[in-house]
Amino acid sequence: MTALADLPLDQRHLVAKMVTHLGPEFEGTFGRETIERFVVDSLGQLAPRAKVATYLPVLAEKFAKERLRALARVEGLAPTTTPSVLFLCVHNAGRSQMAAGWLRHLGGDGVVVWSGGSEPTSEINPAAVEAMAEVGIDIAQEFPKPWTEEIVRAADVVVTMGCGDACPLYPGTRYEDWELADPAGEDVEFVRVVRDDIRERVLALMASLGVEPVSG
């Protein structure tokens, strides 16, 4: 992981603010040093791909929060019976983001949802954003990010979508591989077909986990 001392002074100030924001949620679970370590590393992983640096602190804080929640789950510090699913593709810009959007929409609080990529790109596929908006699901605020060990280990189910050998494999984790057309570079008409295919697969996954749809 990247060390705080390796960051320029302005980024150290940003880290301090993010750690302060996250502190109340993880009080009694993780100390400030652990939170800081994950914030710094999340910032370091997202920075090389960021197209607009203005949004980087917000995205890094969100990413760090996801990772810390996953770590708490892995270490048994946040006992829960809620199933968790991680969607993985190459760029985390189209298929995995649409799948995560569908599962959050259909599953609500009945399931924990993550997504990631083996080679994340800099932004979500605009055609995927448009296609999902047509069915009332907003993924415009999501962002491509790499998969991380603690999130993979925290997932009850890992759904892979075309990342092949680059997708991580952990013993004891349930894996599903969905063969889906890649929407990268395609128009919204093409993406609609992929979107609807993903919806049906997500519903089948929910049924296998015993998660009832909360919306249509």
Residues annotated catalytic, as ranges? 89, 163, 167
Instruction: Tell me the torsion sign for CA atoms 84, 89, 93, 95.
Output: negative
Nearest CA to 74 among 156, 132, 144?
156
- 53-83 b/e (C-beta count within 10 Å ≥ 16 → b): eeebbebbbbbbbbbbbbbbbbeeeeeeeeb
Determine the Cα–Cα distance for residues 92 and 69; give it in Å rounded to an integer: 20
Determine the Cα–Cα distance for residues 134 and 66; give it in Å rounded to an integer: 27
The two tokens of residue 109 are: 């609080």
Residue ranges of alpha helices (H) inside 75-187 are 95-107, 126-133, 149-154
For the chain, the straight-line distance linking the first and the last C-alpha, in angstroms and rounded, comes to 41
Determine the Cα–Cα distance for residues 114 and 70; give it in Å rounded to an integer: 10
Q: What is the CA radius of gyration of the chain?
A: 17
Q: Which residues pair with 158 in a beta bridge?
A: 86, 175
